[in-house]
Copies of this chain bind each other. A is one copy, B any other.
């Protein structure tokens, strides 16, 4: 399974980078290959200063070795060998009318002393962070997620949509990071779902990404915006930074386990602002977004 999934995310990285380059129309991804001293490495692809995309990364990695202390604590296990691979992407568009998107699909294995797999699971998801709320975009993104989920289990979309709202909750701000999507983790073999079934599900979601995001980019990328709207985007990007550095398990985990810092922090936006005690005007479009972030709603 590990080879099959790693093969899959390599191909998916190619497809997604290609699709995003076409959507941008100007910038190309640059590639950095890196190795991890303790075992494994990755292929980081970053795009900057495009026509549409201001900064983004579509990264894959496959790492293995002794389970680091931070992971042992997280999983509450003793010494063990592990393998983990995944694709992580974050795209920060230039225009405040175009939402930021994040996605991640990952697979994990743990081994006993004889190298037998004692535990394995999939995780991942995709979620949207708009700066201005276009309800059509939210519905399109969630509908695409739901369509992909429904092919596997009708309970998946409501369950993983709710988990997404819970996970991407910026607790110290009492608001969601964005308008959600899907989040799933520790997807292990059960009577009804074999690991093969989970692979089919996770790859179905991975394959839905471009369809979920690119039509939104196409619709919004040429809309005019004001400097004030750009400022609002940069202030909201500050909340994105706060979530990723304070709450996001994946980011903190990478920072504390000697991950490749530049690959992990490619998720941070290019230009960000913090104003003291900023509040949008009553009845404004900016306030309308906040209301939805404070009270996540069902889009489909």
Residues of chain A touching chain B, judged by Cβ–Cβ distance below 8 Å, are 32, 46, 48, 55, 57, 172-173, 234, 238, 241-242, 245-246, 252, 255-256, 261-262, 265-266, 268-277
A252, closest chain B residue (CB): B246
Q: Determine the residue in chain B with the shortest Cβ distance to A255.
A: B172
- CB <8 Å contact, A277 and B32: yes
19 CB-based A-B contacts, threshold 8 Å: A46-B276, A48-B275, A55-B274, A55-B276, A238-B268, A238-B272, A241-B245, A241-B272, A242-B245, A242-B265, A245-B245, A246-B246, A246-B252, A262-B277, A270-B273, A271-B271, A271-B272, A271-B273, A272-B272
A274 to B: closest C-beta gap in Å: 4
In the complex, the chain B residue whose C-beta lies closest to that of A256 is B172
Which residues of chain B come closer than 8 Å to A238, judged between CB atoms? 268, 272
| Selected contact of A173 from candidates B172, B246, B261, B275, CB within 8 Å | B261
Which of B234, B241, B266 lies in contact with A241, CB distance below 8 A?
Answer: B241
A219 vs chain B, min Cβ distance (A)? 27
Contact of A261 among B172, B272, B275 (CB under 8 A): B172
**With known contacts A241-B241, A246-B255, A270–B266 Cβ distance under 8 A:** no
Copies of this chain assembled into the complex = 2
Complexed CA–CA distance, A173 and B261 (Å) = 8
A275: chain B residues within 8 A (beta carbon): 48, 270
Q: Are B255 and A265 in contact (CB under 8 A)?
A: no
Closest Cβ–Cβ distance, residue A182 to chain B (whole Å) = 26
Nearest to A30 among chain B residues (CB) is B276
9 new A-B contacts, CB < 8 A, other than A55-B274, A246-B255, A272-B272, are: A32-B277, A48-B276, A172-B255, A234-B271, A242-B265, A266-B276, A268-B274, A270-B273, A270-B274
Q: Within the complex, which residue of B57, B273, B274 is in contact with A276, where a contact is CB–CB below 8 Å?
A: B57
Q: Which chain B residues border A270 with CB–CB below 8 Å? A: 273-275
Instruction: Using CB atoms, name the residue of chain B closest to A238.
Output: B268
A242 to B256, CA, bound (A): 13
Q: Which residues of B contact A241 (CB under 8 A)?
A: 241, 245, 272
- What are the residues of chain B within 8 A of A274 when measuring CB–CB? 55, 265, 268-270, 272
Cα–Cα distance between A48 and B57 once the two chains are bound (Å): 33
